[in-house]
């Protein structure tokens, strides 16, 4: 089995979302979870290389409790995405839109950015 075959399942969601930097290695884990590819007792390897000439490599063993984790149906949620125009993108990027284009529900969401630029997240039911 070649490299591509070994990592294909872990890159399924990242290929649709794009680079989220360090979070990409954990998104790979979610890809495996969402596809029911994790087996208790198996080892999973993680590797990331940063542009600051640093790298992180570690392993983890899939625990039996993994089966009790709820899936997020990320793949189905990604299918419901909709394209936005440049004007809305720029407003969102600059924080000038005021309200979300899709109100959060049942997820962690950005709830505030204070005057110093600190971002605050909370679980929104």
Tell me the per-residue pLDDT of 51-88, one tens digit each, with 9 for 90 and over.
Answer: 777 888 999 999 999 878 777 788 888 888 888 999 98
Same domain, 2 and 30: yes
Which has the higher per-residue pLDDT, 38 or 71?
38
The DSSP H or E segment spanning 124 is strand 119-124
Can you give the residue range of the structural domain that contains 124?
83-125
Same domain, 54 and 99: no
For residue 91, is pLDDT > 80? yes
DSSP 41-104: T-EEEEEEEETTTEEEEEEEEPPGGGGGSPP--HHHHHHT-----HHHHHHHHHT-S-S-SS--
Same domain, 55 and 110: no
pLDDT at residue 99, as a whole number: 77
Same domain, 70 and 19: yes
Tokens, residue 22: 């360090």
Same domain, 51 and 73: yes
CA atoms within 13 A on the CB side of 101: 15
Same domain, 62 and 117: no
């Amino acid at each position: 089995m070649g490299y591509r075959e070994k990592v294909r399942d872990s890159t399924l969601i990242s290929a649709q979302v794009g680079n989220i930097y360090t979070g990409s290695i954990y998104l790979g884990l979610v890809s495996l979870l969402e596809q029911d590819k994790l087996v208790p007792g198996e080892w999973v390897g993680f590797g990331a290389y940063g542009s600051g000439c640093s790298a992180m490599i570690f392993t983890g063993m899939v625990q039996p409790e993994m089966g009790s984790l709820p899936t997020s149906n990320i793949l189905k949620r990604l299918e419901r995405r909709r394209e936005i125009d440049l004007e809305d993108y720029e407003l969102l990027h600059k924080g000038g839109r005021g309200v979300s284009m899709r109100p959060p529900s049942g997820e962690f969401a950005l709830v505030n950015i204070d005057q110093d630029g600190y971002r605050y997240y909370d679980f929104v039911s």
